[in-house]
Amino acid sequence: MQMNDYSEDRIQQDCYMWFNNNFRNLRKMLFAVPNGGKRDVVEAKRMKATGTVSGVSDLILAYGGTCHFIEMKTSTGRQDDEQVKFQKGVEAQGMNYYLCRTLEDFIRIVKNIVHETEFQNHKSIS
């Protein structure tokens, strides 16, 4: 299977597995938000009434005193209008939002988050 044949779900599965295998101490700090997919009208209304929000990123990483929002897309995938609005809201709150297209992107994102936070924590202690 070529990389551009991967679905968003497959990319997300690979990223989640990699994270849990490489950051065992942070398990449960990376989680998915089930805000997509097809649902009947009753289920959709119930989900909306209980806080499901259109456009929320696929993964959220709670680390370093903040949340990092990660949206999965294929090599040709584009954010819809609700995802763009959510990204702008997240960034307006001073948090990070990442667009991730491959496992390699995800690895780079996570390593940068962990390294940057450890560096900031070490710097503030000195």
- Write out pLDDT tens, residues 87-112: 999 999 999 999 999 999 999 999 99
Q: If you average pLDDT over residues 56-75, what whole number do you get?
A: 96
* CA separation for the pair 125, 96 (Å, rounded): 23
Top-level class of domain 3-125: alpha beta
Instruction: Identify the band that residue 80 occupies on the pLDDT scale cut at 50, 70 and 90.
Output: very high
pLDDT at 118: 56
Residue 123: pLDDT band (50, 70, 90) is: very low
Task: Look at the pTM and tell me if it is higher than 0.85.
Answer: no
**Predicted local distance difference test score (pLDDT) of residue 119:** 46
The residues spanned by each domain of the chain are 3-125
Residue (of 73, 63, 74, 37) closest to 52 by Cα position? 37
Residue 3 has pLDDT above 50, yes or no: no
d(CA 14, CA 6): 10
How many residues would you count in the chain?
A: 126
Mean of the pLDDT values across residues 38-59? 85
A 10 A CB-CB count for 102 gives 18
Residues with Cβ within 8 Å of 51's Cβ and at least 6 positions away in sequence, in order, are none
pLDDT for 39 equals: 75
Model confidence band, residue 116 (pLDDT cutoffs 50, 70, 90)? low
Q: Answer yes or no: are the C-beta atoms of 57 and 97 closer than 8 Å.
A: yes
What tokens were used for 35?
Answer: 């805000």
CA 116 from centre of chain: 18
In whole angstroms, give the CA distance from residue 85 to residue 79.
10
Rounded CA-CA distance 10/32 in Å is 13
